[in-house]
């Protein structure tokens, strides 16, 4: 990491970044194989990230953690038109 100062010069420190993410999707109501119909799925994902830097004679050490968890519903409707090829 390099911090550029307004008065000129810069301060440097090594930066460590770690990140992990995962997601999943599951059909609660599967889409119809033929014809018209509703489908509903549950979606979720999680993210975690961490940054850290060591103390130098010019800069203090820093640690930062960020996390996110999302859960959602995904809906769709299948509509087959007459005469349309499937």
The overall pTM is greater than 0.85: no
Where along the chain do its domains lie? 11-30+40-54+61-69
pLDDT for 34 equals 84
CA distance 3 to 5: 6
pLDDT for 50 equals 96
Q: Which residues pair with 67 in a beta bridge?
A: 48
Q: Please give the chain's pLDDT, 86 residues, in tens.
A: 788 888 888 888 888 999 999 999 999 999 888 889 999 999 999 999 999 988 888 888 899 999 999 999 999 998 888 775 65
pLDDT for 41 equals 97
């Amino acid at each position: 990491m390099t911090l550029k100062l307004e008065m000129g010069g810069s301060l440097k420190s090594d930066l460590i970044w770690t990140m992990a993410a995962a997601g999943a999707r599951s059909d609660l109501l599967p889409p119809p194989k033929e014809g018209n119909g509703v489908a509903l799925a549950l979606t979720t994902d999680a993210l975690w990230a961490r940054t850290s830097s060591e103390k130098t004679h010019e800069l203090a050490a820093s640690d930062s953690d960020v996390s996110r968890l999302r859960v959602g519903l995904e809906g769709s409707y299948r509509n087959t038109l007459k005469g349309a090829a499937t």
